[in-house]
C-alpha cells in the first residue's frame, strides 16, 4: 500500500476520501488550512474518524504561504501520490473576490507543484471542476473539447489554470497527472453554502427557495461517495502507470433541472416547496453534463447512487448534525 498526501483533507470531499483511502489500506498524510469560508468546527468534525486511525497524520498549513511553509509543515517520510483537493471553491464568491481565488487556486497550486518537484514526488491527482466548460454548446461535455473561451467565472479560470500548470510540470519535469473535473458533488458533509444544503434549511424554516432564472438550468449532481470512488480508482491508476497525463470527467451523466431538484429535496424532507424567482447570478452556467466514458474506460468508474438515495443520505446526516427547525 502507498503513502498518499491529501490536501484539503478536512473538507467535504477530502474527509470522505481520507476515510476511503484508509479503508483501502493506504497511509494518509492530511493537509488543510481550515479556510474560514465556513466554520472550522465543522471541518474538525469531518476529521474525527481519521484522527483516531493509526495510519493517518494531519498537518495544518496554507499553500499560499510558499515552499518554506510546506517544508516546515510536512514530514520527510515518502509520499508516493498527492491528491490535490485544497482550493477556494464556489462560482458566486469568486465573482466578488477574484484575487483570493487566484491566490489560493493558482499560486497555492504552484507552490505545491514546486514542493513536489523538490521532493521528487512524481504522481498527482488534481481536482478540477466542470466549471471550466462554461456554456460550451457541445453536450455532454467531453474532455477533448476546446476550452479557449469557456471560462465565465474567476473560479473556472483558476481551475483551468491549475490544469495548465499540471501540464507544464508534466512536460518539463515528467510529473504523472490525472486531472479530474468534478460535477456538482453533494452528500453528507456538504458545504453549507451549496444549494442542497441551503434548500433543506430553508424548507425546514418554512421559507421560500430562491430560484435563479426560470428553473431550467441543470446540474449533473454526483453523490460524494461516487466521486470519492473515482478518486480512489484514480490513485490506483497513478500507482500503476508512469509518465501519464490524462483529464477525465467525474460526473453522473444525468443533468437535473433546478425545479426537478427542488421537488426532489421537498420530497426528501416531506415539505412542499414555495419558490421565489430571481434573476440569474453572474458566472452561473446553463447546464453541466458529463460524458464519463473516458473515466469508465480508464478507471472502471461507474456512479451508483440515485438522486433520491443521495438526498435521503444527506438529510439523514443533516438530522444528526443540524438543529431541526
C-alpha cell at 84: 490535490
Q: Which of 101, 133, 155, 237 is catalytic?
A: 155
Q: How far is CA 270 from CA 34, 204, 227, 312, in A?
A: 34, 10, 27, 11
List of residues 6+ apart from 279 with CB closer than 8 A: 212, 213
Cell 444544503: give the residue: 197
C-alpha cell at 156: 473556472
Taking the mean position of all CA atoms in its chain, how far away is CA 16? 11
C-alpha cell at 85: 483537493
In the three-class reduction of DSSP (H, G, I as helix; E, B as strand; rest coil), residue 210 is classed as: strand
The sign of the CA dihedral 288, 94, 176, 122 is negative
Taking the mean position of all CA atoms in its chain, how far away is CA 209? 24
Picking from 315, 303, 166, 151, the residue whose alpha carbon sits closest to that of residue 230 is 303
Q: Say which DSSP state 106 is in.
A: I
Neighbours of 277 (CB within 10 A): 11
Tell me, yes or no, if 245 is annotated catalytic. no
Contact between 55 and 31 (Cβ < 8 Å): no
In the three-class reduction of DSSP (H, G, I as helix; E, B as strand; rest coil), residue 83 is classed as: strand
Contact between 89 and 191 (Cβ < 8 Å): yes
Neighbours of 152 (CB within 10 A): 18
Active site amino acids: 155
Amino acid at each position: 500500500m502507498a503513502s498518499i498526501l491529501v490536501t484539503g483533507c478536512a473538507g467535504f470531499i477530502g474527509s470522505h476520501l481520507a476515510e476511503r483511502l484508509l479503508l483501502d489500506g493506504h497511509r494518509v498524510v492530511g493537509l488543510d488550512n481550515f479556510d474560514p469560508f465556513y466554520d472550522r468546527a465543522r471541518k474538525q468534525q469531518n476529521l474525527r474518524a481519521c484522527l483516531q486511525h493509526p495510519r493517518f497524520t494531519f498537518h495544518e498549513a496554507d499553500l499560499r504561504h510558499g515552499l518554506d511553509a510546506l517544508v516546515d509543515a510536512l514530514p520527510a517520510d515518502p509520499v508516493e501520490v498527492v491528491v490535490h483537493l485544497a482550493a477556494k471553491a464556489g462560482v458566486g464568491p469568486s465573482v466578488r473576490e477574484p484575487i483570493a481565488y487566484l491566490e489560493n487556486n493558482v499560486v497555492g497550486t504552484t507552490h505545491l507543484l514546486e514542493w513536489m518537484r523538490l521532493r521528487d514526488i512524481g504522481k498527482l491527482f488534481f481536482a478540477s471542476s466542470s466549471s471550466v466548460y462554461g456554456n460550451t454548446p457541445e453536450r455532454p461535455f467531453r474532455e477533448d473539447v476546446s476550452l479557449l473561451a469557456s471560462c465565465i467565472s474567476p473560479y473556472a479560470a483558476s481551475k483551468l489554470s491549475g490544469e495548465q500548470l499540471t501540464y507544464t510540470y508534466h512536460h518539463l519535469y515528467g510529473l504523472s497527472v490525472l486531472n479530474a473535473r468534478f460535477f456538482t458533488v453533494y452528500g453528507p458533509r456538504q458545504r453549507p453554502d451549496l444549494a442542497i444544503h441551503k434548500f433543506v434549511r430553508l424548507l425546514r424554516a418554512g421559507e421560500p427557495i430562491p430560484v435563479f432564472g426560470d428553473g431550467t438550468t441543470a446540474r449533473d449532481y454526483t453523490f460524494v461517495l461516487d466521486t470519492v470512488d473515482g478518486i480512489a480508482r484514480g490513485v490506483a491508476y497513478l500507482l500503476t502507470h508512469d509518465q501519464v497525463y490524462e483529464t477525465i470527467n467525474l460526473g453522473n451523466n444525468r443533468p437535473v433541472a433546478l425545479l426537478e431538484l427542488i421537488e426532489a429535496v421537498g420530497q426528501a424532507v416531506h415539505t412542499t416547496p414555495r419558490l421565489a424567482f430571481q434573476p440569474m447570478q453572474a458566472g452561473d452556467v446553463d447546464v453541466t453534463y458529463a460524458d464519463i466514458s473516458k473515466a469508465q474506460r480508464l478507471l472502471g468508474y461507474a456512479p451508483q447512487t440515485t438522486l433520491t438515495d443521495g438526498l435521503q443520505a444527506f438529510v439523514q446526516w443533516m438530522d444528526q448534525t443540524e438543529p431541526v427547525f
